[in-house]
Amino acid sequence: MFKYLQLWRVVRGRYYCLQMKHDAGVRTVAMKNFQLSNNPMVELEKITEREVCGKCHHARKFYCYDCNVATSSAGKVIPKLELPVKVVVIQDAREVKGKNTACHAKIIANQDVEIFTYPDIPDYINKDNSVLLYPTDGCESVGEAIKSRSDNNKKLEYVVFIDSTWQKSKRIINNEVISTLPRIRISQHKTLFWRNQKFDIHFLSTIEAIHYFFRDYHEATNQGSYEGQYDDLLYLFLYQYEVIQRRYKNNTELTFKTALRDDYIK
C-alpha cells in the first residue's frame, strides 16, 4: 500500500508540473489526457544536435531505432518504467524500424521488454505463462484473463504483441507457438497514430496497445483505479504526435491526408 500511495503522489505531482508548463504556452493537443513525468515538448526540444549511437555508431536525435537505446542527452530526460508483466514483441521482418513504435517500450522499460524479429520466437513463452494481445470473437478482456488465471493459480508472466500490419500478422499468428497462446483484448480507444491506414480508428499503434494493456491491467488489479502510472510509455509517441500537429497547424500550405478522418490535425 505504501508503494502505491508513493507512486500516486509522484505521478500526481508530475502531472501538475506538466500542467503548469502547458499553461505557460507550450503547444499541446493530446498530452493533457496523460500524466507524464516531464513535458517532452520542453525537455526534448532542448536537444538540438544528433549524437552517435554507442552501439551502431549511427547519428540519432533522441534514440536509435536499430539498437533500441536512447542517446546520451535524451536518456537523461526520457522516463524509465518497471512493468508488472514482461512484454514480448514479435516484429515482422518487413516492418520499417524507423517508423514503428515498439522500440519506445524497450527504451522506456528496458528490463521488461524484449523485441524479436519473426521467425525468432522466445522459447520461454507458452499457454500457461503468457497471453497474446490479439482481439478475436469471444476472447477475454485483460481483467477477465487476470481473474481466470488467479482462479486457476496461474501467474501471468508475459504478454505478447505482434508488431506488423494487420495483413502481415496472419503468418505470425499461425506460428505453432503463437497460435497456442490465449488471446485477450484491451478496452477500446481511438488511435492517435499518424501513419495512414484503411481500418477503423480503434486500430492502435503497437506502443498505444502496450500502454492500454497496462492501464487495463492496473485497473483490474487496483479496483478500477488508475492515476497515470504507465502513461510514460507514450512519452516518445506523444512527442512525435505533437510535432506533427505543430508542423501542420503552423503551415497552412501543408495538408495532412488520412483515409479515416478529416480532423486529425486539431
Question: Tens digit of pLDDT for each residue in 76-116?
Answer: 999 999 999 999 999 999 888 888 899 999 999 999 999 99
Q: What is the DSSP letter of 139?
A: P
Sign of the Cα torsion 50, 55, 57, 58 reads negative
Determine the pLDDT at residue 56. 97
Distance CA 149, CA 154 (A): 5
Q: Is 143 left (phi over 0), alpha (psi -120 to 50) or beta?
A: alpha
- For 178-214, the pLDDT digits (tens) are 999 999 999 999 888 866 666 677 789 999 999 999 9
Q: With CA atoms as reference, report the closest residue to 86 among 192, 195, 160, 149.
A: 160
Q: Is 101 left (phi over 0), alpha (psi -120 to 50) or beta?
A: alpha
**Vertex 203: Cα angle to 127 and 134 (nearest 5):** 10
Determine the pLDDT at residue 196. 61
3-state secondary structure 163-232: ECCCCCHHHHHCCCCHHHCCEEECCCCCCCCCCCCCCCCCCCCHHHHHHHHHHHHHHHHCCCCCCCCCHH
**Grid cell of 163 as nine digits:** 508488431
C-alpha to C-alpha distances, 88 to 80, 114, 120, 125, 235, nearest whole angstrom: 18, 5, 12, 9, 20
Share of the chain above pLDDT 70, in %: 85
The pLDDT of residue 2 is above 50: no
Distance CA 154, CA 150 (A): 6
**Grid cell of 79 as nine digits:** 522516463
Which residue shows C-alpha cell 533522441?
Answer: 62
Average pLDDT over every residue of 28-40: 85
The pLDDT of residue 256 is above 80: no
